[in-house]
Structure 1
Amino acid sequence: MSLLDRDGVRVTVHEAVATVTLVHADKRNAQTPAMWRTLAEAGRGLPGDVRVVVLRAEGVSFSAGLDRRAFTPEGIEGQLSFAALARSSDAEATAAIAGFQEAFTWWRRTDLVSIAAVQGHAIGAGFQLALACDLRVCAEDVQFAMRETALGLVPDLGGTHPLVALVGYARALEICGTGRTVRAAEAERIGLANLVVPAADLAAAADDLAAALLAAPRNALIETKALLRAATTHGYDEQRALERAAQARRVKDLAGLGE
């Protein structure tokens, strides 16, 4: 079933799996505000029975980052340009950026598990979109880089939190501060990539991971994901209390005594 197909984004659903595909391969899937609006809409419009979302990209690159036309005086026709953002008030600028961020926030909803299948370049906004997902399956040719700081900007699309959670503060600072490229072997070693496979096997590897996740009962996976997310901010005793409460719910549900 096709949900939408516009602004460089195609969304299809088959049973419990939604596939979000970036389809501007000729532009290396460079991102625009219109693409971000459509990605945010995709998250809002998913059917309730979707359990896994797979993010893919056509062509040789996952996403080369923000469309550079946004930085030109002409901008992208009909879309907010960097120059217009700079001329806006602080309140208007932060509101606009908050709208952009919506495209990057829904992938970690507790009721879903999201998988990014990443090949080639994942630069800037492309890197942050891959980081927005719960899991990353990467091709051997993957190249991650956070170039915002080198341009005088900051990563502002939700990428700083998951990057630090995955690789730690010091390494995240080094990656962002230098703008250097992180290739497949390093990405797997430091925790950016859950799995690295030959490019020809990328689609199948993402599908296999989705199938493995679907094998677990939905409510158990939802509770487990919530626990693991909470563990990054809660102390040991508080986390154990959350585990007890979650397990009590699961036992009652399995026994048919849940609410």
Structure 2
Amino acid sequence: MKELRLTVDGPVARVVLDRPEVRNAQTPAMWQALADFGTTLPSDVRVVVVSGEGPSFSAGLDRRLMMGEGVDGQEALLTLGAKPTAEVHELIAGFQAGFSWLRRPEIISIAAVQGHAIGAGFQLALACDLRVVTPDVRFSMRETALGLVPDLGGTQPLVQLVGYSRALELCATTRWVEADEAKELGLANIVVPPEELAGTVKDLTEALLAPLPGAIRETKALLLGAADRSYQDQLKAEREAQERRLKELLATSDSGH
């Protein structure tokens, strides 16, 4: 679709939001396209880079869809409130699928963020494993100001990154978080000048592709599940993951002879 550029180049896939005239505001159709892209991603893709065309990463949901106007035949978000519960849940689950695949253990996702990352834009950045940002970045979780909740998968990674108390404060006040604070809180991994954003993401991508994919997949899965396991369960998960790695490495070694 014209609002998104979705490409695959060997082990690297790229998602580019391409609506700079509205600061890359998002629509449910874009979320569906993202979900479809995640579903059809080739198995040899190891890194996914998400970025926005123009000076902003994403200003969130297209406000016309919130204010009751249609966009390209898509109905206003508030009309969901009139639908049966099961249908509402199914629709929102479909929206969430456009974001959640970026957390899959077999890929590492990088958000290259400049300018505004608001609401759905913030949640898209949070869906990614790593965030490289420019000094002009401005994060804000705006949903509560509209009477809504963040429902695109952003609440869990936000709490994991900044803790419950800070996450609640950011969501309840909808205030701006700029680059220095984002780095301090752990929302941003790296802050670089705008002219260095692409090069830094390229260098990071190359570094992530260096280790064996199986090792990265297992390590990401261990880290993603660590907060939900007891210490003993985490030790058990590490043992099981290491056994799988050792057996795969042995099999690879034997096949090479």
TM-score > 0.5 by shorter chain: yes
2: distance between equivalents of 1:87 and 1:71? Answer: 15
2: distance between equivalents of 1:33 and 1:162? Answer: 21
2: distance between equivalents of 1:203 and 1:77? Answer: 32
2: distance between equivalents of 1:224 and 1:64? Answer: 33
Q: Report whether the alignment pairs 1:222 with 2:217.
A: yes
2: distance between equivalents of 1:73 and 1:246? Answer: 49
In structure 1, list runs of 5 or more residues that go unmatched.
1-5
Give 2:143's aligned residue: 148
Contact 1:7/1:38, CA 8 A, preserved across alignment: no
**Aligned pairs (5 A) from 1:1-259:** 6-256=1-251
Query: Residue type matched to 1:67 in 2?
Result: D
**1:7 CA drift (Å):** 4.4
Contact 2:8/2:14, CA 8 A, preserved across alignment: yes
2: distance between equivalents of 1:223 and 1:73? Answer: 45
Query: CA RMSD of the aligned region, Å?
Result: 1.5
TM-score (norm 1): 0.94
1: distance between equivalents of 2:76 and 2:84? Answer: 14
Contact 1:104/1:158, CA 8 A, preserved across alignment: yes
1:28-81 alpha-carbon deviations (Å, 9 max, x no partner): 000001111111111111111111101111100000010011023332231121
**1:255 CA drift (Å):** 2.3
TM-score (norm 2): 0.95
2: distance between equivalents of 1:62 and 1:122? Answer: 6
2: distance between equivalents of 1:164 and 1:137? Answer: 19
Give 1:3's aligned residue: none
Contact 1:7/1:35, CA 8 A, preserved across alignment: no
**1:90 CA drift (Å):** 2.2
1: distance between equivalents of 2:91 and 2:249? Answer: 45
| Corresponding residue pairs, total | 254
1: distance between equivalents of 2:180 and 2:235? Answer: 35
Query: Residue type matched to 1:102 in 2?
Result: A
1:139-161 alpha-carbon deviations (Å, 9 max, x no partner): 11110000111111111111101
2: distance between equivalents of 1:83 and 1:180? Answer: 24
Contact 2:56/2:115, CA 8 A, preserved across alignment: yes
**1:226 CA drift (Å):** 0.9
Query: Residue type matched to 1:244 in 2?
Result: R
